[in-house]
Amino acid sequence: MVKPKILIIGTHRSGTSNLTTTLAKTFRSKALGEPWNEWLNRERLGPGIEPYPYPDGIVNFNIVKTLSQQVPLTYTKSSVEFNVELSTYFDKVILLTRKDINEMALSYAKACERSLWHSEYLIRETDNLDLNIPMHTQARNMLYEIAEKLDLPITWYEELYSGDKFKFTNEVNKWNLDINIDSFFNHFDPKNRYRKFTNKQTSI
């Protein structure tokens, strides 16, 4: 199997981590997640240190995932310009976000509250969460601008994780990758979503 170089550009809480892992397994490729996440790098290594300097730090990875607003510390242009430039190092670019900005903000706020990003959780009516809608709207607008400049379609979280094989296939076909839909589909079963619901709540 040919191992394409794939760039995933997404927004917070849009299933980018699962997509990265699944593509890495599918193509048996090395994957790198959020190399320019300033907060994460600062927590791990201290301020001002980047473990994967651009562009040399990414050349050994076939699959790289980043978020629309993330840029290297030394990059002086806009995040949109950076992601357009970054795309030239890859064969394929996948742009992933959510239609429902409120759900994105809810999921992000809950993860911040728990300081846990990749585990199951419930959101209850009694939760007092700070929904930073402007931040998420800005990040998604950046992705829209990247899509326009690269002339690429958006992949929608709601369709990819819908459990509807027809909708799922339509999204995957946007990428023009050699993927076995049947085996790939199982990794996006909505029952495996991090967010869980009580009997009184309804998942979407």
- What number does CATH give the domain 6-103+138-192? 3.40.50
Q: Hey, what long-range contacts does 170-173 have (CB within 8 A, 24 or more apart)?
A: none
Which has more confidence, 48 or 126? 48
pLDDT tens per residue across span 120-152? 888 887 688 989 999 999 999 999 999 999 999
Which of 24, 17, 15 is closest to 6 using CA atoms? 24
Domain range summary for the chain, segments of one domain joined by +:
6-103+138-192
> Partners of 95 in the beta sheet?
9, 154
**0.95 exceeded by pTM:** no
Rounded mean pLDDT of the chain? Answer: 92
Place 200 in a pLDDT band, splitting at 50, 70 and 90.
Answer: low
pLDDT > 80? residue 35: yes
Do 91 and 3 touch, CB atoms closer than 8 A? no
